[in-house]
Structure 1
């Protein structure tokens, strides 16, 4: 081991020794691999298997239909939403859990256009969308535009302020870019959207559970996000929809269902939306995955999102430092911004043969992921990733890129 490598390995051990979140790792089911793919699928919280067994065997198996009341199934969407709320800077009563992120993007975006038109008239006929967004968001924005008679205007986040005008109805943005890990300016962009009289919709998939969001503080109108990344809810776990409190009585969901009716068991032919966050519900909640998510969120007991952010930045700082020292010059290029204010909780490296490199990394116990055509993505979940993990991952990457065994 070179002197630089020895110094960085020592630095990693020192950081681990002072890590206030180190003990949280024991709340997860993990092996010896360095798991840096929590930005795609979070690790399994240890409490989940037992909770799911109870839901299946006792609540469903024994109580059966009684569990809607006796086990709290009926109130789960709002109860779990309130559990997520402090992680994204929201007061209780503004989040409902259920459906997929895609479905919630559709609800939020069509609802946003309707809100804008209530305030500003039919002249609001344009939806602005992040041109670099995750593809599904773009697909849904296009569908929402067709449905509402709006023009779709894709621009980069940096171009958003200049693209806004009196025709803008809604703006859909990602808080963190899924390819590069770039953190966008939620407070500044939300203020610009509001100054134009439009409604701001934020996709929090790559920020919730990794960094403070501040939905209430910054006046965000609507937000959506998944729960299977940094919130560790499990594959396909239900997403959530945030509707700011003062907009709830005007939020008109394009997917009204019996579960969001003011009198759900009245089975009336006419629709009257429920008050508050429940009007974001649609059909019968997906109870098994929802209650698995509820158990998963227990790993956050006693953990502040601010401490997670502090560790996230330290982890990504160390990884970038190790990559710069270990990896042969010119072999990779970081796409992730260096300034903390512009960085999420992942590092993206451009690499000519990224697909093959990631395969070899996984074979050697470092799990990240690959994005076409040439991006290695590494997600850092501070609840269970340590500093020695980071130094080891950079060393294995360097070994592969030197043509060795890591």
Structure 2
């Protein structure tokens, strides 16, 4: 059994804060501060450019993207050697979609849903417009996806867990259906990786992408990852042919030759300091069972839903009631949800808000427990029952909500 009291001690959480926003930005692991300071002073500071070969404990900074990819791969059910880390999630979405479309010539439809994170849709639209071959981005309601998978679809591109409501798609079933229709599947695991067991290999995913600053706690701006299934890894043509995806980047050839397997999906120079923080964050997962994480997350979420619905009748559950149908977040709707969230934050309960009316709360048992849930419900009830949210300072919108 996972010792969650031990994992809680690994995080540097401010005193008096109940942090229910790890689904947006994970808190800082204590070890990250020391490791980043070490790489800045002892490696960058002392080794200078030789750190590319000598840094990171003698393994060299240049090896970080693949090594960290394997560490993440174990958390998402990937085969060894088929995940690489680097760049941003938007870049990885673009790479995966561009490669997938080339593998299904003659088809023009990319199918997604209205619960997908807007950036994924923006990247798809931009790519399809640039291609200029009459492709269509077809967006349907989340519950309509299965019926919309037809033999017109080249690529199914979905985020497994809806960023607003926490609604969870069935990766295995939807991937099987699009394969039966001759298409490919891309899964965005931004709200999945580190939240519950993921099985990209068993689920048949062709490509998967994700960020590392949410449930993986890699820090703001932490690099993204991409998975390419073994059957496609040496066929996928990288649309973004970056120099580090070259078979021999330091040969400095003028013509591009893609590297072997997923390494061809490397683009730019590895962000060493950010990857160092991510490496420290991934240490937290040593000895942690994702099955235990999932079971505890469901327990905490169910406690929260029951408590909020009993104490705050004006709030409406926006997440699926069945825990099997949602990820590790719970969302409630309220017309003045932004103001309520600001009032909560002022009292030490940190969640976040998504327009137009959704308050989001993430439940990560690595650092959240039953006492946190009880206290958060009590504070939310006080705010709602006494209309403490109804103040001008709580209604002024900040740049980040």
Could you say whether these structures have the same fold, taking a TM-score greater than 0.5 normalized by the shorter chain as the test? Answer: yes
Q: Would the aligned equivalents of 1:202 and 1:223 in 2 still touch at CA under 8 Å?
A: yes
Return 5+ residue gaps in structure 1 as ranges. 1-17, 118-122
- Counterpart of 2:399 in structure 1 is none
Does residue 125 of the first structure (1) align with residue 108 of the second (2)?
Answer: yes
1:242-391 matches, cutoff 5 A: 242-327=227-312, 329=313, 331-391=314-374
Q: Note the alpha carbon deviations across 1:14-39, whole angstroms, 9 max, x for none.
A: xxxx9842221000001221000111
Out of 92, 98, 104, which is 2:86 matched to? 98
SS at match of 2:104: helix
Flag the 1:20–1:53 CA change in 2: closer, same or farther, 3 A: closer
1:404 shift after superposition? 6.5
Return 5+ residue gaps in structure 2 as ranges. 390-401
Out of 377, 381, 395, which is 1:394 matched to? 377
- Counterpart of 2:28 in structure 1 is 44
Q: Would the aligned equivalents of 2:196 and 2:290 in 1 still touch at CA under 8 Å?
A: yes
How far apart in 1 are the matches of 2:302 and 2:209? 28
- Counterpart of 1:76 in structure 2 is 64
SS at match of 1:265: helix
Flag the 1:66–1:176 CA change in 2: closer, same or farther, 3 A: same
SS at match of 2:310: helix
Q: Would the aligned equivalents of 2:301 and 2:330 in 1 still touch at CA under 8 Å?
A: yes
Out of 101, 116, 120, which is 1:113 matched to? 101
SS at match of 1:29: coil
- Counterpart of 1:175 in structure 2 is 160
1:89 shift after superposition? 1.1
- Counterpart of 2:145 in structure 1 is 160
How far apart in 2 are the matches of 1:183 and 1:164? 17
Q: Would the aligned equivalents of 1:111 and 1:251 in 2 still touch at CA under 8 Å?
A: yes
Flag the 1:131–1:324 CA change in 2: closer, same or farther, 3 A: closer
How far apart in 2 are the matches of 1:168 and 1:196? 8
1:374 shift after superposition? 1.1
1:405 shift after superposition? 6.6
How far apart in 2 are the matches of 1:39 and 1:320? 17
How far apart in 2 are the matches of 1:33 and 1:274? 46
TM (norm. structure 2) is 0.93
**Count of residues in Structure 1 that have an aligned counterpart in Structure 2:** 382
TM (norm. structure 1) is 0.92
Q: Would the aligned equivalents of 1:131 and 1:138 in 2 still touch at CA under 8 Å?
A: no
SS at match of 2:342: helix
- Counterpart of 2:37 in structure 1 is 53
